[in-house]
């Protein structure tokens, strides 16, 4: 059965000290809650990874970077490579987030390199896709997301593709308080699963965890997570408070 995943994306928030405290609180709450059916992941800034891996029980709470370099190593000032991320003990990397595409010019070409490097370093990519408001208003979201996937992760071998999780995050729902309706989220995730099935076959499609992200919180998570194709969430704002995040983790 495919995994349920609730992953926090802290974005550019918290100092190392604050992040360590937050991670400890999440770890403690997850341990106390006895949740066993959900993979919990914290997507922290690069600077925090080593310290956070040291304070969480990695079997209960996984750790993700929010990006990695498109090159393996070398003269790329300021970049952090996939092998560096792996060496911290983190096991996941969020790739292709719309904020990286939009503000840092990430293209399908760069993302193909990042995904390949993440996989060759045994990191699990949480690969993001999702459309802007104008595309949704023009009702072109399916074609847009299809192209995003076709240009990137659909180039992988079936074996490599089956190592990824996918996160659908409509840009218009990120940080806006406007969640996609349950029907909109389910419809898109079912559509993505259908695309995966056409490309890689039904067995791989059924095993791929597909997450929803965008103003997901403890209140709307139960209804979202009850949908057949929603295998969890990628959580921004609500992952910055341990209790709020736990409320989402326990929404299943």
What minimum distance in Å lies between the beta carbon of 61 and ligand 13P?
17
Q: In terms of C-beta density within 10 A (0-12 exposed, 13-18 middle, 19 or more buried), how is residue 46 classed?
A: middle
Q: Which residues fall within 8 angstroms of residue 161, CB to CB, at 6 or more apart? A: 153, 154, 196, 199, 200, 204, 208
Determine the interface stretch with ligand 13P among 83-91, 157-165, 169-177, 182-190 (rule: CB under 6 A): 169-177
Determine the interface stretch with ligand 13P among 46-54, 194-202, 208-216, 242-250 (rule: CB under 6 A): 208-216
> What mask, x for binding ligand 13P by CB under 6 A, covers residues 2 to 21?
-------x------------
Q: In terms of C-beta density within 10 A (0-12 exposed, 13-18 middle, 19 or more buried), how is residue 200 classed?
A: buried
Q: Does 232 bind ligand 13P (CB under 6 A)?
A: no
> Which residues are paired to 126 by β-bridges?
94, 165
When CB distances to ligand 13P are compared, the closest residue is 236
Judged by CB, which is closer to ligand 13P: 200, or 224?
224
- Please report where in the chains the tokens 């995966």 appear, as a residue: 196
Could you tell me how many residues of this chain bind ligand 13P (CB under 6 A)?
Answer: 14
- Is the CB of residue 145 less than 8 Å from the CB of residue 190? no
Considering 99, 106, 131, 169, which one is annotated as catalytic?
169
Helix (H, G, I), strand (E, B) or coil at 213: strand
Taking the C-alpha atoms of residue 179 and residue 181, their distance in angstroms, rounded to an integer, is 6
48 among known catalytic residues: no
Task: Report the residue from 45, 96, 125, 213 that binds ligand 13P according to the rule CB under 6 A.
Answer: 213
Judged by CB, which is closer to ligand 13P: 64, or 80?
64
Judged by CB, which is closer to ligand 13P: 179, or 200?
179
Q: Does 38 bind ligand 13P (CB under 6 A)?
A: no
| Structure tokens that stand for 146 in this block | 């299809």
Ranges within 83-112 binding ligand 13P (CB under 6 A) = 97
Taking the C-alpha atoms of residue 2 and residue 15, their distance in angstroms, rounded to an integer, is 34
Q: Does 236 bind ligand 13P (CB under 6 A)?
A: yes
Considering 48, 97, 99, 131, which one is annotated as catalytic?
97
Determine the interface stretch with ligand 13P among 70-78, 113-121, 209-217, 220-228 (rule: CB under 6 A): 209-217
Taking the C-alpha atoms of residue 117 and residue 123, their distance in angstroms, rounded to an integer, is 9
169 among known catalytic residues: yes
Report residue 19: phi and psi, to 5°.
-65, -40
Q: Which residues are catalytic?
A: 97, 169
The binding site for ligand 13P (CB under 6 A) comprises 9, 97, 169, 174-175, 213-216, 234-238
């Amino acid at each position: 059965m495919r995994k349920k995943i609730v992953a926090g994306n802290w974005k550019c928030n918290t100092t190392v000290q604050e992040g360590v405290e937050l991670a400890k609180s999440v770890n403690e709450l997850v341990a106390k809650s006895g949740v066993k059916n959900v993979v919990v992941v914290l997507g922290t800034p690069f600077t925090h990874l080593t310290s956070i891996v040291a304070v969480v029980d990695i079997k209960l709470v996984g750790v993700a970077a929010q990006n990695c370099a498109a090159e393996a190593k070398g003269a790329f000032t300021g970049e952090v490579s996939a092998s560096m991320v792996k060496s911290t003990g983190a096991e996941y990397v969020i790739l292709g987030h719309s904020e990286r595409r939009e503000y840092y010019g990430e293209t399908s070409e760069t993302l193909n390199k990042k995904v390949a490097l993440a996989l060759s370093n045994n990191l699990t990519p949480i690969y993001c896709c999702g459309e802007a408001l104008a595309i949704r208003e023009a009702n072109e979201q399916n074609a847009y997301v299809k192209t995003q996937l076709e240009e990137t992760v659909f180039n992988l071998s079936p074996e490599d593709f089956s190592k990824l999780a996918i996160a659908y995050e409509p840009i218009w729902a990120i940080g806006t308080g406007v969640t996609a309706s349950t029907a909109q989220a389910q419809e898109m995730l079912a559509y993505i699963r259908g695309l995966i099935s056409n490309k890689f076959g039904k067995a791989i499609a059924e095993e791929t965890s597909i997450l929803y992200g965008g103003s997901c919180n403890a209140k709307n998570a139960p209804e979202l997570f009850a949908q057949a194709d929603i295998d969890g969430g990628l959580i921004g704002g609500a992952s910055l408070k341990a209790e709020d995040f736990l409320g989402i983790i326990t929404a299943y």
